[in-house]
Copies of this chain bind each other. A is one copy, B any other.
Amino acid sequence: MLDVCLAGTGGMMPLENRWLTCCWTEYQGDAILIDCGEGTQIALKKAGCKLSRLRLLLFTHFHADHTAGLPGLLLTVGNSGKTSPLTIVGPRGLRRVVEALMTIAPALTYPLELVELDASQPGSLDAAPLEISWLPLRHRVPCVGYRITLQRPPVFNPQKAQALAIPVQFYRRLHAGQAVELEDGRTIQPEQVLDGERAPIRVCYCTDTLPIPEIATFAQNADLMIGEGMYGDDEMREKLQEKTHSLFSDTARLAKQAGAQQLWLTHYSPALTDPQGCLDVARAIFPATTAAYDGIRTTLTGE
């Protein structure tokens, strides 16, 4: 089970009633945060995300609305008593940006481990038990989308085990994928008692970007696709082309092509005061679209 929370949903600047977009994903008490704009530490607290669980911070790109909250967040995490390392991942230039921002937060109680990735081509990194992949997006500056994948072990089938008269003490090892030798001399392979692979759980976060087709492939069969909704009105297309952002309808089309289970729209323009009111166009294309709001959360079970 993967818990996902979008603590903020705004773009460009924080507003009194809308925090900047950021995504909190938690699995077994360890949390991953994507992006950290001005005020993100407040948004996370308000949404009930526990900063002490933060293990990994991913930056999509280095515009201020995605990064300016870093010094404050790191200091507040330090005040909560953290001493274990925090890993921060982002496109090349990460080290320069983090070191610059830390000018006003020079002494942390825990080490930072910085991982720069090549934003010009797709890639992945191991964050066992999760896998994190990135996709180059098309924005004014190098920018990536992220996909967090939880692989799930096959389901153990006790009926099959009973039919084979396997003693209970061997169940755990078989479920973990190991063959066992029974006292009667039989060797049991895991496949004999497992019900096959289950689809992984995937959450995908892609903003800021033009609606490039690669996103549909990247988000293929995602349990949750979180995508850009800078404007709801299709008449804004020309403006967004220049600014390299996406419309509600653009992102809904990508979610449909991806075969995603559901889509949350985020990164609203400050001028977009009523995202709900623009939802019809997106839902006509991809019915399982939600105009996300600050603090929206879900638990992805893969069922």
Q: Tell whether A189 is near chain B: CB-to-CB under 8 Å.
A: no
Which residues of B have CB within 8 Å of A97?
103-104
Which residues of B have CB within 8 Å of A104?
62-64, 67-68, 97, 100-101
When A104-B63, A104-B64 are in contact, do A72 and B42 touch as well, CB less than 8 Å?
A: no
Check B39–A79 contact: CB distance below 8 A. Answer: no
In whole angstroms, what is the CA distance A42 to B69 when docked? 14
User: Which residue of B has the minimal Cβ distance to A104?
Assistant: B64
What copy number does this chain have within its complex?
A: 2
Stretch of A13-21, A203-211, A217-225 at the chain-chain interface: A13-21
Task: Tally A residues with Cβ within 8 Å of B.
Answer: 31
Q: Tell whether A38 is near chain B: CB-to-CB under 8 Å.
A: yes
Check B15–A42 contact: CB distance below 8 A. Answer: yes
Check B68–A72 contact: CB distance below 8 A. Answer: yes
Find A38's partner among B38, B62, B65 (CB 8 Å cutoff).
B38
Which residues of B have CB within 8 Å of A96?
103
When A72-B68, A103-B100 are in contact, do A13 and B39 touch as well, CB less than 8 Å?
A: no
Q: Tell whether A76 is near chain B: CB-to-CB under 8 Å.
A: yes
Which of A15, A41, A100 has most B Cβ within 10 Å? A100
When A39-B38, A41-B38 are in contact, do A64 and B105 touch as well, CB less than 8 Å?
A: yes
For the residues of A in contact with B, the DSSP-based class is helix
In whole angstroms, what is the CA distance A45 to B17 when docked? 12
Which residues of B have CB within 8 Å of A65?
72
In whole angstroms, what is the CA distance A156 to B45 when docked? 57
Q: Tell whether A180 is near chain B: CB-to-CB under 8 Å.
A: no
Chain A interface residues (CB < 8 Å from chain B): 12-16, 37-39, 41-42, 45-46, 62-65, 67-69, 71-72, 75-76, 79, 96-97, 100-101, 103-105
**Other than the known A13-B75, A16-B42, what 4 A-B pairs have Cβ atoms closer than 8 Å?**
A14-B39, A64-B71, A68-B69, A101-B101
12 cross-chain CB contacts under 8 A: A13-B41, A13-B76, A15-B42, A38-B38, A38-B41, A38-B71, A38-B72, A62-B103, A63-B104, A65-B72, A68-B68, A100-B104
